[in-house]
Chains A and B, each alone.
Chain A
Amino acid sequence: MPENLLEVRDLTITPAGADAPVLHDVSLSLAPGERVGLIGESGSGKSLTAQSVMGLLPEELHARGQVHLQGHSGNLLEANEKTLAGLRSDIVSMVFQEPMSALNPLMRIGDQIAEVLRLHGKAPRGQIPTRVLELLRDVHMPDPDSDRFAYPHQLSGGQRQRVMLAIALANSPRLLICDEPTTALDVTVQKHMLDLIAERVSAVEAGLLFITHDLAVVAGVCDRVIVMYRGRIVESGSVDEIFTAPKHEYTRGLLASSDLEATDDRGRLFTLKTALAYSGPQIGEAEASVDVREPGDLRDEPQISTRPDHTGMSVAGSTDEDSVRTTSARDGAGAASVRDDHRTPSVRESAPLIEVSDVTRIFRGRGLFGRRRSDVTALGGIDFSVAAGARLGIVGESGSGKSTLLNILSGLDRPTTGHVRVGDIRVEAASSQALRRLRENLQIVFQDPFASLDPRMRIADIVAEPLIAAGVDKDERAARVEEMIAAVDLDQDSLRRYPHQFSGGQRQRISIARALVTRPQILVADEPVSALDVSVRAQVLNLLTDLVDEYALTLLFVSHDLGVVKHLCSEVIVMRAGQIVESGATEDIYANPQDEYTRRLIAATPSLAEALTAG
């Protein structure tokens, strides 16, 4: 039998003082040069598995089992720190998720690369500077000659991740472990990074263990996939097998809920529970509706709510359901017009609900004692309008100005020049009275479910907060809050609890409840699902879709994720560096992007179907 590069047997990890393991009997192997994807959501144990191989497990976790690595005899779990240190970066290397903090902030990056060369004595001392330059060139740093003298804070996230890759591969290890290496990066940067990892791993003929939550990423990079769920391996097989004929229901559910192209008969994304109806990652219409009830022991959100995924929205009128269902499920524009027809005659006029014309926002640089620094143009002349009832996606990567735009729309910030009209309110010149009226009509769901709820307030108070500001009396507040919490599929019990008792997905539901409790006309969602696991993401997006229908909302959906926007929005604007580079109907822009940046963005967005056909 040819010796495996990596052999993990019965790996079980238990936290000190706890009875229940967090990782159960994990066994996996990796042949020399093989590329394996390790997939799972948060809490699945995928990173722990990797850390055990590196001997970097936190001390309060105890690992049992066997980990064998080619080139070292004996169980790595029993090796001492010195032995392990000798293997790390020599035989097995790792690239971590967080590029911003993974490099020593006080040391030039050239020195940080040189250190790893010196440590393992692979390069003769005199050649180290040349080798450092070579490595920086290999990872396509823009200007290796001067970049080696840079400190980490002077580099972008993508560049820092390149440096990490250069460090990891400096000694040509036999195995490279990548732990979510692109999760913190922008989409276009992610694409480059993935290509680079593939390229460099081939170049040094290393094996690759690629850890991620993103199925589409794995499909493009790996030969074989291992799926983990709650500390266990539930399935493994070739990329084709897993993605076209998943055996385990969790794999199927994960696949179904990550596929933003596929929807069920109601035009909703698949979730772990409705995944049975999912037929694989083809771009095609979903088939027969299947009545799905509580399959197996899977729970979408492991903590409090075990209610079925809003299959029976109590507040959803049946006639609307039917009328929506008759239209093409994925045709957002169609759905919007249907709503307009019988819902909100008052806002159905020709004049757009939101009008933004020639808006700029410049932040003045500020130095000590008034010393001027260069100004930053966050928005450089933005024009667009949104019709009542429309669903507009605002797409852009970090630094595109989308958050600034949101702040201006919601009256939290004022434009430097230009005009913003929301309804009948001129936002740039609004009195505080008018701003209050604006905010009653326009509510926001924020990105970070952990930061957007005050940790010291009960859910009831959090959801009621906009009502207090609006002067609603106590009894009505309680009634409206209860109604809203039901609308977002949470138990009434939740009202007495505090935010930390909820999972990320549940917190986003609470955020949505808070945003909608004043019955605004406009809902602004600022990356509401980017911090969520894939399966939870699908649920929250479905809930959002339901509520947008139900309350006839005008939706502004800000995201870096084109897939999500494509699913949800009828129109889209693409932003870059404070400018709108392209706008129009979502379908058109996808089918026929005019701008070069849009094209790049679309090409860079990982897609299951494409990854499979390409592979």
Chain B
Amino acid sequence: MNPTPTSAQSPSDHVDPVALDATDATASAKIRPGRSRRSGRRANASMIIGAGLVVLIVGLALISFVWTPYDPTTIDPAARLQSGSLTHPFGTDTFGRDTLTWVMVGARITLLVGVVAVGIALLIGTPIGIISAFFAKQPWGMWIDAVIMRANDILLAFPALLLAIIFAAVYSPGTGPAMVAVGIAAIPGFARVARSGTLQVLGSEYVRAARASNRRIPAIAVVHVLPNIAGMVIVQASVAFAISVLAEAGLSFLGLGTQAPTPSWGRMLQESQQYLSTHPELALWPGVFIALAVLGFNLLGDGLRDRFDPKMEARGA
């Protein structure tokens, strides 16, 4: 093979799991195998379960706008710290507020933070990654790519929770700064995925063919790059969503995220700590729902990843 600059990959590309997100949600695309048909089917099951859980959480949040069993802010001293019953299926908290109601309303914040954070990261990170990859393919633009990726690496040194704590310190603690911080922390993940996907596409013979057919760079980006990396980006979005659910919960648990009186699962968990010895079930429901939401988005991402696995597509039938 001729050592053309377009095909020159540094050998470290081989081990750098490009799609590594800063956190931990699931295995990256790079060290993920092209799977056998069998595990492909099982993975499809994970997509269905994941989608089911996501629909459940979204459903709870949507219903809470029109109906909740009780008013979330009403304090009922007579009904404080009850266990699960027919009137209060999930029990009540120390102020006598209905836990089910709080779980439903809390889903809103979880999803809001996720949507905003992922939105920020996707809309900023993906174009950065694509543009960076285009520069990487130009002999004169490689240094721009290098600078962008180095900046990306530095941003990676600020995990979501840490950045959110900094924001809470500088601005006042609250949902807004938390969303923005988690979103910014997720940018490198999208940029890396988009960049490695774009590099793959740009190195392909079909893009060479398109260039030989006079397609211009913006057209190549839209016609060839975007459709071919969309799958990877969607998977990343799903994983990043799970991460932001965790980050928001953690932040609120520390008291630096969503502030009272807005219901939030993380803060419910924190408040439950005082009553752990007497009322451990107070920790149960927010805990379960945080786990379900994270599990749902992770499974969805896993299933989507198998769906979009380029290796399966390429050799196809």
Contact between A and B in the complex (any CB pair below 8 Å)? yes
**Separation in Å of the A365 CB from the closest CB of chain B?**
9
B205 near A500: Cβ-Cβ < 8 Å:
no
Q: Which of B258-317 contact A (CB under 8 A)?
A: 310, 313-317
From A329-337, A352-360, A407-415, A546-554, the one touching the partner chain is A407-415
Does chain B have a CB within 8 A of A79?
no
Q: Which residues in A have their C-beta under 8 angstroms from that of B139?
A: 364
Q: Known contacts A366-B142, A450-B315, A501-B317: does B209 contact A378 (CB below 8 Å)?
A: no
Q: Are the C-beta atoms of A469 and B36 separated by less than 8 Å?
A: no
Contact of A500 among B38, B223, B313 (CB under 8 A): B313
Distance between Cα atoms of A404 and B316 in the complex (Å)? 30
Q: Interface residue tally of chain A, by bracket?
A: 35 or more
Q: Does A202 contact B (CB under 8 A)?
A: no
Tell me which residues across on chain B come within 8 A of A439, comparing CB atoms: 212-214
Interface residue count on the B side (C-beta < 8 Å): 33
Binding stretch for chain B, among A124-132, A134-142, A452-460: A452-460
From residue 367 to 411 of chain A, which have CB atoms closer than 8 A to chain B? 376, 378, 398-399, 401, 403-404, 407, 410
Given contact pairs A456-B227, A500-B313, A412 touches B204 in the complex (Cβ within 8 A): no
Complex: how many Å from CA A403 to CA B224? 23
- Within B98-126, which residues are at the interface with A (CB < 8 Å)? none
Find residues 455-472 in chain A having any chain B CB closer than 8 Å to their own CB: 455-457, 462, 465-466, 468-470
Q: Is B151 an interface residue (CB 8 A)?
A: no
Asked if A403 and B1 sit within 8 Å, CB to CB, the answer is yes
Q: Mark B186-220, 1 if CB is under 8 A from A, else 0.
A: 00000000000000000011101111111110010
- Chain A residue at smallest Cβ distance from B206: A454
The answer to whether residues A446 and B209 also contact, given A363-B5, A455-B228 and a CB cut-off of 8 A, is: yes
B2 adjacent to chain A (CB < 8 Å) = yes
Of residues 399 through 444 on chain A, the ones whose CB sits less than 8 Å from some CB of chain B are: 399, 401, 403-404, 407, 410, 412-413, 436, 439-440, 442-444
CA distance A470 to B215 in the complex (A): 9
Beta-carbon nearest neighbor of B36 in chain A: A60
Is A591 an interface residue when CB atoms closer than 8 A count as contact?
no
Contact A454 B228 (CB under 8 A): yes
A593–chain B nearest beta-carbon distance, Å: 25
- Given the complex, which residues of A lie within 8 Å of B227, measured CB to CB? 454, 456-457
Q: How far is the CA of A399 from the CA of B3 in the complex (A)?
A: 8
Measured CB to CB, the closest approach of chain B to A336, in angstroms, equals 24
The listed residue with most A CB atoms (<10 A of its CB), out of B209, B216, B227, is: B209
* Contact between A450 and B314, CB atoms less than 8 A apart: yes
How many Å lie between the Cα of A452 and that of B204 in the bound state?
7
Contact at A412–B211, with CB atoms within 8 Å?
yes
Q: A403-B2, A407-B4, A454-B228 known; A500 and B317 CB under 8 Å?
A: yes
**In the complex the two chains form, what is the Cα distance from A410 to B208 in whole Å?**
10
Query: How far is it, in angstroms, between the C-alpha of A456 and the C-alpha of B206 when the chains are bound?
Result: 11
Distance (whole angstroms) from the CB of B203 to the closest CB of chain A: 9
How far apart sit A311 and B314, CA to CA, in the bound complex (Å)? Answer: 32
B 1-29 to A, binary, CB cutoff 8 A, 1 in contact else 0: 11111001000000000000000000000
Q: Given the complex, which residues of B lie within 8 Å of A407, measured CB to CB?
A: 4
Are A447 and B213 within 8 A (Cβ)? Answer: no
Question: Residue on B with the closest CB to A511?
Answer: B209
Q: Is the CB of A452 within 8 A of B206?
A: yes
Q: Are B1 and A398 in contact (CB under 8 A)?
A: yes
Question: Is A448 on the interface with B (CB-CB < 8 A)?
Answer: yes
Q: Are A451 and B317 in touch, CB under 8 angstroms? A: no
Known contacts A399-B2, A454-B228, A456-B228; A444 and B313 CB within 8 A of each other: no
- Which residues of chain A from 482 to 539 have any CB-CB distance to chain B below 8 Å in the complex? 499-501, 511, 514, 518
Selected A-B contacts with CB under 8 Å, 28 pairs: A60-B36, A363-B8, A364-B139, A376-B3, A401-B2, A410-B212, A412-B212, A447-B205, A448-B205, A451-B314, A452-B204, A452-B208, A454-B204, A454-B228, A455-B228, A455-B314, A465-B210, A465-B213, A465-B215, A466-B213, A466-B214, A469-B216, A470-B214, A500-B314, A500-B316, A501-B316, A514-B209, A514-B213
Please give me the 7 A-B residue pairs with the lowest Cβ-Cβ distance, nearest first: A500-B316, A466-B213, A469-B214, A452-B205, A454-B206, A456-B227, A451-B205
Q: A451-B204, A454-B227, A469-B219 are in contact. List 19 more A-B contacts (CB 8 A).
A: A363-B4, A401-B2, A403-B4, A413-B4, A439-B212, A443-B213, A446-B209, A448-B205, A453-B206, A454-B224, A454-B228, A456-B227, A456-B228, A457-B227, A462-B206, A469-B215, A500-B313, A501-B316, A518-B213
